[in-house]
Amino acid sequence: MMYKGIPASPGIIIGKVFIISKNLEPVHTEKIKVVNPEKEITRLKQAIEKTKNEILLIKEKIISDIGNKDADIFNAYIMLLNDKSFVEKAVNLIKDESVNSEYALHMILQEYVKLYSNISDNYLKEKIIDIKGLFEKVIKNLSEEPSKLFPQKGKWIIVAEDLSPADTAEMDKKNILGFVTETGGATSHTAIVARSLEIPAVVGLKSITKQIKTGDLAVVDGEKGIVLIDPTPESLEDYKREQIKYSIKINILKKLKKLEAVTLDKHKIILNANIEFPEEVNVVKEHNADGIGLVRTEFIYINRTNLPTEEEQFLIYKSIVEKMSPKPVTIRTLDIGGDKFLPYIKISPEQNPFLGLRAIRLSLSNVNIFKNQLRAILRASAFGKVKLMFPMISTIEEFIASKNIVYEVMDDLKRKKIAFDENINIGIMVEVPSAVIMADELAKISDFFSIGTNDLIQYTLAVDRGNEAVVSYYNPLNPAILRLIKKTVESAHKNFKSVSVCGEMAGEPHLAFLLLGLGVDELSVSPASILQVKKVIRNVNFKDAFQVAETILKMEKAEEIKDLLYKSVKSYLINK
C-alpha cells in the first residue's frame, strides 16, 4: 500500500514500523480538586524547572551532534517557560479554582489551540504542534514515573500522530531510521530539526497510525513524500537502487556548496534563501547562499497574545543580520491578513479577506505597529547589509505612503542619534497585476523588485491555491504569468533595477531554468533547494535558457509550454 504525504526531510529508508500512540501512554489532564493550592503551585514550578533542564540538555545534544545549527529552536521553548504571563495564568487557575496543575495547563493549551484552529495558513497552524509538545512535556514531568517515548533496541521507523521538535531531537539515530507523522508540514520546527539531524521524514499523512501496525515493513521516501507499506519484492529492490542513487546525488550536490551559481557561459545569478525562522540562518550559511532574499517577519508575531516590542524585534533582526554579514538580508514587513490573523490586531470581518485589509494595507492602517517594526529593522541595518521590502504593493500611492513613513522613522532615529543605514535599499514585492502594469513607474521610485509568484498567480488567474476544487487552475506555466514576469523584468532593467523571484517557482529546477531565460537577476529559494537550483544553473548556458524562454513567450497553452520546457532542460536536471 502506498501513501502520499508531505516531504519533510530527504532520504530513503527501509525498515520496520514502530507505532507511537498517545492512547497507549495517555497524558492525564482531568480536573481534580486540590486541598493545598500552594503545594500544587510548587509542584507545577518544579515540573517547569525540570522541563527547562531537559530542554537545555536536548539543546546541548543538538549542538554536540550538528553544531549550533538549529539549536536556537529550543530557545523559544525556554522563553515560553520563562514567560511570566504563562506561568501566572496557570498559577491563578490553581489558586482561584483549587485545581490540579495538569488541568490548569490543559486549559491554557486549549486557548492556544482555539486561537489557531481556524487559521488555514499552514505556517501559523504548525506552531501549535510545538506548543502542544512542550505542554505535554511539562505535564509528564508532573508525574513521578519517567517514560521513554522511543524504543531503545532495534532499528525502527517511527510512526506517530505528531512529534515535537524536542521529541525529534531526542531520537537516537542508532535506533531510529526516520519517522512519519499524521500532522505537520515542511516548514514546521519538527521538520527543520529532522533535516538538520539528517533524519528522513514524511509528515501530513492523516490517520496513518490507524492504517498500519508495529512490525510492518515500510519504505519511506522523504524527498518525494512517499510511504510504502509491505512493498513487493520488486518494489523493495527498486528502492534499494534508489537509495544508492540518492546517496550519489547528495555527494554531488555537496561539492557545489563553495561554488558560485554561474552558467557555462559565465552568466552570474544571485542565489539567495528564504527563511521562516532565525535558526534557519545556519542552514543558509552551510549551503553558501549569496544572501537572504526574504525574511518572513510573521514568526515574531505568532504564538503570543500581545504585540512584540521594538526591542524584541530589533534583537531578532540584528541576530540574523550579524550572522549573515557581509551578505545582504532582505526583510519583508508584516504580511498578515488574508488567511493569517493575529488576536491582538483588530480586523473587522471581511467577506473576502484576500482582497481586504492585508499586508501593506494593514500596516498603513496601523501606523504605530508599522513604525515599531520599521524602527527595529532600521536599527538592525547598522549591523550589516539590510534591504527593506514591502508586501502586496498595488499602487504608486501605497508605495509612496509607505516610504514616507520610513522617512519619518529615520528622522526620529536621527534626532535620537540612533545608528542605522541611511542609504538602505527600499523595494517592493510584485504580487498583483496592477503592480506589473505600473512597473515602469514603480521602478523609477523603487530600489528593487521581488516577484512573489505565489500571490501573483493567485491574483492573476483568480484562483485560491488552497481550494482543491480549483487548484488545477493554479499553474505557474500559464502564459499570462510568464508574460507578467517578463514585463516586470523589462521595466526594472529599463530603470537599472534588479529583479528577484522569491516564490515557489524559483525553487523548482525546471522553472528556475525558465526564470533564468526570462532575465531574472536573483532567485530566492528555501534553503533545502539551494544546491539543486545551483546545479541546474551551473549546467546550462544562459543563451540557451534565453532562447527557450523567447520561444515559450510566444506560446498560448500551459501544457505545450511544460512539454517544451521539460524536454529542453532534461539533460541538465538532477533527476535525469
Which residues are marked as active site? 189, 502
Task: For residue 523, give the 3-state DSSP assignment.
Answer: strand
Q: Cα–Cα distance between 334 and 219 in angstroms, integer?
A: 41
Strand partners, 524: 272
Q: Cα–Cα distance between 161 and 186 in angstroms, integer?
A: 16
Strand partners, 449: 428, 499
> Which residue matches cell numbers 526516520?
178
* Angle made by CA atoms 54, 57, 62, in degrees to the nearest 5: 125
* Angle made by CA atoms 54, 57, 59, in degrees to the nearest 5: 110
Strand partners, 523: 271, 501
335 within 8 A of 358, measured Cβ to Cβ:
yes
Strand partners, 220: 13, 227
Peptide bond into 326 cis (omega under 30): yes
Nearest residue to 450 (alpha-carbon basis) of 485, 419, 480, 418:
485
Question: DSSP string of 41-87?
Answer: HHHHHHHHHHHHHHHHHHHHHHHHHHTTTTTTHHHHHHHHHH-HHHH
CA distances from 63 to 177, 186, 279, 318 (A): 20, 22, 13, 22
150 within 8 A of 176, measured Cβ to Cβ:
yes
Q: Strand 498-501 vs strand 522-525: parallel, antiparallel, or unpaired?
A: parallel
Q: Cα–Cα distance between 451 and 485 in angstroms, integer?
A: 8
435 within 8 A of 460, measured Cβ to Cβ:
no
Task: For residue 265, give the 3-state DSSP assignment.
Answer: coil
Q: DSSP class of residue 297?
A: G
Q: DSSP class of residue 242?
A: H
β-sheet with 12-20: strand ranges across: 2-4, 226-229, 217-221, 12-20, 156-160, 176-181, 201-203, 6-9
Q: Cα–Cα distance between 446 and 206 in angstroms, integer?
A: 45
